[in-house]
């Protein structure tokens, strides 16, 4: 079993994983209910339609899962020496340019993939990441519609569970030549620069998937091999990347900037800007080198 040595004092790994399972499957039930227009469990109100003065199913689902996760972690571990941060609480908690004073920090995204949730593609996720300093040590990526709970303990192991607790292993593909690699890309966050970069890499193929968590899951299943995020002022945030990175790292993959610099969290800037590459790791250095070289021509001066 994964060790408790990397957790705050008084928190056991077995106890933490048990609570994360309970909270994750509870979040799945909440989100699936809102997605279908059903009455949500755990006492949360049914979503009002926007035209009736409500905020609609997306906002209702976001807020309900946010409250479910924050209350659950707070009540299960009242004395734990960690801080809780979520996408929904960030505006109240964060001051631009100032990191939170927390050695241990939970970074939560109660609903990653809002457009896919609204459009009914099923490609949305819940992210929970425990960060120490500026790096993730544990991550959970829940895919409610697929009934998949991906768990990663960095330096230890990563695996997938279903609702019964049945585990299945990570199955990275054996593809290693750049010309064979399959890219998983965003449907909505694509521009001419990204299209030019993908063309320059001369990969073996691509597919479009929603949430970052869902994208990384395709790498973990061996369906694809890499994901690229290319952005500047409008960029993914800490809560988009921390949990998927933790699971991928725990599985033996990599998630870095094109120059192979590590992603960092709780820096005072929640944007994860630049040219970011997540992969199964087999050709990561070559991918970074090729991407950095291509970006020097596509957009000179772009910080990779």
Closest CA to 249 of 73, 78, 129: 129
> Is 50 exceeded by the pLDDT of residue 52?
no
Lowest mean pLDDT across 56-60, 179-183, 222-226: 56-60
Structural domains in the chain plus CATH codes: 13-169 (3.30.540.10), 178-298 (3.40.190.80)
- Which pLDDT does position 263 carry in this prediction? 98
Name the β-bridge partners of 157.
Answer: 153
Share of the chain above pLDDT 70, in %: 94
Q: What is the largest CA-CA distance in the chain?
A: 55
- Which pLDDT does position 53 carry in this prediction? 36
Stretch 53-67: mean pLDDT, rounded? 76
Distance between CA atoms of residues 288 and 272, nearest Å: 16
Instruction: Give the pLDDT confidence of 63-113 residue by residue, as tens digits.
Output: 999 999 999 999 999 999 999 999 999 999 999 999 999 999 999 999 999
pTM attached to this predicted model: 0.94
- Which pLDDT does position 234 carry in this prediction? 79
Distance between CA atoms of residues 21 and 30, nearest Å: 14
Instruction: Give the pLDDT confidence of 9-42 residue by residue, as tens digits.
Output: 999 999 999 999 999 999 999 999 999 989 999 9
Element (H, E) at 304: none
> Is 70 exceeded by the pLDDT of residue 4?
no
- Which pLDDT does position 51 carry in this prediction? 40
Closest CA to 14 of 106, 151, 133: 151
Give the CA radius of gyration of the chain.
19
What is the pLDDT confidence band of residue 46, given thresholds at 50, 70 and 90? Answer: confident
137 contacts 11 by C-beta, under 8 angstroms: no
Strand 148-153, strand 135-143: pairing = antiparallel
Q: Which residues of 226-243 are buried (b: 16+ CB within 10 A; e: fewer)?
A: bbbbbbeeebbbbbbbbb
Closest CA to 66 of 85, 92, 46: 85
Task: Please state, as a whole number, how many other Cβ atoms lie within 10 Å of the Cβ of residue 160.
Answer: 24
Share of the chain above pLDDT 90, in %: 85
Q: Which residues of 263-278 are buried (b: 16+ CB within 10 A; e: fewer)?
A: bebbeebbebbbbbbb
Stretch 234-262: mean pLDDT, rounded? 97
Instruction: Give the pLDDT confidence of 103-150 residue by residue, as tens digits.
Output: 999 999 999 998 899 889 999 999 999 999 999 999 999 999 999 999
- Which pLDDT does position 1 carry in this prediction? 54
Stretch 153-172: mean pLDDT, rounded? 97
> Is 70 exceeded by the pLDDT of residue 173?
yes
Lowest mean pLDDT across 43-47, 168-172, 247-251: 43-47
> Is 70 exceeded by the pLDDT of residue 57?
no
Closest CA to 212 of 190, 241, 250: 241
Distance between CA atoms of residues 101 and 92, nearest Å: 15
50 versus 130: the higher-pLDDT residue is 130
Closest CA to 228 of 238, 220, 219: 219
């Amino acid at each position: 079993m994964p060790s408790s040595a990397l957790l705050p004092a008084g928190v056991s790994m077995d106890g933490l994983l048990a609570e994360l399972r309970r909270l994750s499957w509870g979040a799945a039930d909440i989100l699936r209910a809102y997605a279908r227009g059903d009455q949500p469990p755990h006492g949360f109100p049914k979503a009002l339609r926007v035209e009736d003065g409500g905020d609609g199913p997306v906002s209702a689902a976001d807020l309900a899962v946010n409250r479910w996760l924050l209350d659950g972690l707070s009540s299960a571990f009242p004395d734990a020496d960690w801080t809780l941060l979520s996408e929904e609480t960030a505006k109240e908690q964060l001051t631009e340019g100032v990191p939170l004073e927390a050695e241990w920090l939970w970074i939560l995204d109660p609903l990653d993939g809002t457009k896919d949730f609204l459009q009914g593609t099923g490609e949305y996720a819940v992210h929970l990441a425990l960060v120490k300093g500026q790096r993730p040590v544990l991550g959970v990526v829940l895919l409610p519609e697929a009934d998949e709970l991906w768990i990663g303990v960095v330096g230890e192991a990563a695996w997938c569970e279903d609702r019964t607790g049945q585990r299945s292993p990570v199955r990275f593909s054996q593809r290693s030549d750049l010309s064979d690699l399959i890219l998983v890309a965003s449907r909505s966050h694509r521009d001419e620069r990204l299209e030019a970069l993908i063309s320059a890499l001369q990969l073996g193929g691509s597919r479009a998937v929603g949430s970052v968590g869902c994208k990384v899951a395709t790498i973990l299943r061996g369906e694809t091999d890499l994901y690229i995020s290319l952005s500047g002022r409008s960029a993914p945030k800490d809560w988009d990347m921390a949990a998927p990175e933790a699971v991928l790292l725990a599985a033996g993959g990599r998630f870095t900037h094109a120059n192979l610099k590590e992603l960092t969290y709780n820096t005072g800037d929640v944007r994860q800007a630049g040219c970011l590459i997540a992969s199964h790791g087999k050709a990561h250095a070559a991918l970074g080198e090729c991407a950095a070289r291509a970006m020097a021509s596509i957009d000179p001066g772009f910080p990779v």
